[in-house]
C-alpha cells in the first residue's frame, strides 16, 4: 500500500503545481492589458486547466486516503 500512498502524493503535488500555474497565468493575463475578448478566451482556457489540476489533486488525495485505509 506504500506504492498507492506515494502515487497519490505525486498526483496531489502535480495537481497543486497545476493550480499554481493557473494562478500565475491568470495574473500574467491580467497584467498584459488584453482587450475583453482576448482576456475572456485566455481565461476560458485556464478554467479547463484549473479543473483538470483540481481533479488530479483530488484523485491523488483519494489514493492517499485509500492507501492509508488499507495499510
Q: How far apart are CA 58 and CA 1, in angstroms?
A: 18
DSSP result, the chain: -HHHHHHHHHHHHHHHHHHHHHHHHHHHHHHTT--HHHHHHHHHHHHHHHHHHHHHHHHHHHHHHHHHHH-
**What is the per-residue pLDDT across 3-60, written as a single tens digit (0 to 9) for each?**
999 999 999 999 999 999 999 999 998 999 889 999 999 999 999 999 999 999 999 9
Joined together, the cell numbers standing for residue 40 give 475572456
pLDDT of residue 18: 96
pTM, two decimal places: 0.85
Q: Is 22 exposed, middle or buried (0-12, 13-18, 19+ CB in 10 A)?
A: buried
Amino acid at each position: 500500500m506504500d506504492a498507492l500512498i506515494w502515487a497519490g502524493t505525486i498526483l496531489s503535488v502535480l495537481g497543486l503545481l497545476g493550480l499554481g500555474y493557473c494562478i500565475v497565468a491568470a495574473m500574467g493575463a491580467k497584467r498584459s492589458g488584453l482587450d475583453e475578448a482576448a482576456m475572456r478566451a485566455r481565461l476560458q482556457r485556464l478554467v479547463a486547466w484549473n479543473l483538470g489540476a483540481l481533479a488530479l489533486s483530488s484523485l491523488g488525495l483519494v489514493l492517499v486516503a485509500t492507501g492509508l485505509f488499507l495499510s
